Structures are given as C-alpha cells and as structure tokens.
Amino acid sequence: MTVKVINKSGNALPSYASVAAAGMDVRADIPQAITIGPLERVIVPTGLFLEIPVGYEVQVRPRSGLAAKHGITVLNSPGTIDADYRGELKVILVNLSNEPFSIEPGERIAQIVLARHEVIEWEQTDELSESERGAGGFGSTGLK
C-alpha cells in the first residue's frame, strides 16, 4: 500500500524494524528536549504529513518500551488519523509514572499502523438476534 508523505522533520521516514512488524516508530520533531512531569500530557509534533487512502486509517499506538520502562503512553490509544486529514501527525503523550521523563529530539515516541476499515450502513430495527452473552456488560463473559 502506498501512502504519500511529506517529511518536514530532520528525521528519516518511519520504517519497519523487521519483516513481520505491524507498526513503524515515529520520532519527535522538536528543537529541544521536552520534560513531561508525572500525570502531565504533551502534544509532540513529528513533522510528518500523510495522505492516507480512503478506506484506511493510521492508528497511533504506544511504544511498549516507553510504556513498560517509563510509564509513557499515548493518551488516546489508539489515536486515529482519518484519510481526509492533511495536518501534521502529532502524538498525545502522557506520563503515568511518578518521575519526570524527558523526550529528546528525534526520540521514538509512538508507532503507527495502517489499518483498513469498513463504513457502517445502519439498518434500523426494533429487535436484535439472541446471543449466548445477551446484554451482559463488562466482565460478563466469565473469562478470567
């Protein structure tokens, strides 16, 4: 799948780290380090502008290493970049740890995944078919 990109950052374009990787790391396009205090959030620019094909979205997801080691995650995970958005890809990060964390220029801050999606066509009805679960909500499947 080809996706048009404008790269206004000083960083290389995102790339897959292995042949089986689903996501590509994106990097901070910042002139100097940003410190995120405990429970603070920041919007970090990447310098990337995308033209995503209709029928697809780009999902912005946390990097597992930042999350596990430092408590840094993508706040609206997964974030969605719609096919008709042409602005800069920016990442909302939050620090869920008790320690300040510094993001350095060019640091890998999140990963992006291209995902196909369907468009819903609603069919209004007065009745839904039965299922084993029924209307059971959170935790109702009994799986532990």
| pLDDT tens column, 59-100 | 999 999 999 999 999 999 999 999 999 999 999 999 999 999
Give all domains of the chain, ordered by start, each with its CATH number: 4-116 (2.70.40.10)
- b/e per residue 10-28 (b: at least 16 CB within 10 A): ebeebeeeeeeeebbbbbb
d(CA 111, CA 36): 19
Three-class HEC string of 116-137: ECCCCCCCCCCCCCCCCCCCCC
**pLDDT of 144 above 70:** no
Contact 7, 75 (CB under 8 A): no
pTM of the model: 0.89
**Chain-centre distance of CA 133, in angstroms?**
31
140 pLDDT higher than 80: no
